[in-house]
A and B are shown apart, each in its own frame.
Chain A
């Protein structure tokens, strides 16, 4: 540890991590949406291999935080839910990556 009483900078950085992003399932969802312009529910389901209920639950939380935009519509007669990362969501993912990289570098010494 650095200093006589100071918290290790790497550990302190980890405390600042966005916990909404940090949850593994939500992190996967955000990363999938980060790599595309938009995707529908089925596509994200297939890439993340989450269950329907699990994915819906996490999407609700991300939508409430303003990270994901959910657009419900139809493709012909079939309902289709389109998902898109908002600018805030994209920023949150980039901040998370920066925080984790900094934390891991500090932890490595």
Chain B
């Protein structure tokens, strides 16, 4: 039996079990950033418009898959809970959605800009590009740290700074070594995917499917 009766601990444990225990969130995040890492290559092959269509289609499929897996794989194992719509939780939810939308918007703007194509480097704006990427590092680190604190999930702190720095390193390698694939970002995504996989295996072992008990 768990010894804790600390309400904040129980709240965090509840949030963790509802959203982060099964590793699906990590697998989704890893897949998204892996797609972003190979985006320049697929853009060269498909052109900007079709590449964006492919990206958004795969993203929609991944999100749908995650929801279905939550419903039919995680749910029967950990059970179901309906979150309470407290004012604080509404604030957390609004903040999370806002940050996700801003991040998504920034990513789209970056991907649609000519500078995102490695074969057409714009030397004069390299300094500005690094400044933008530095802001991205701080934004990602700050955003994920805030989410980690709000949801009580420690690894989110690590994800934010890792992804931000990997993105900065990728931009540096694109400008200076002519890389087409954003390898540091792909490595960061790979680490997140690996963590997600480990969490999933651990989850499946720890929580077998049970027939509902009285």
Contacts and interface: CB of A to CB of B under 8 A. Distances in A.
Given A78-B212, A79-B212, A81-B214, A36 B79 contact: no
Interface stretch (A1-9, A10-18, A40-48): A40-48
Contacts of B95: none
A24 B212 contact: no
Interface in A27-58: 27-28, 31-32, 34-50, 52, 54, 56
A19 interface: no
A47 B5 contact: no
Given A35-B14, A79-B211, A80-B212, A43 B81 contact: yes
Interface stretch (B82-90, B103-111, B124-132, B155-163): B82-90
Nearest to B81: A39
Contacts of A78: 76, 211-212
B70 interface: no
Nearest to B2: A49
A40 B77 CA distance: 11
Interface of A: 24-25, 27-28, 31-32, 34-50, 52, 54, 56, 72, 78-81, 97
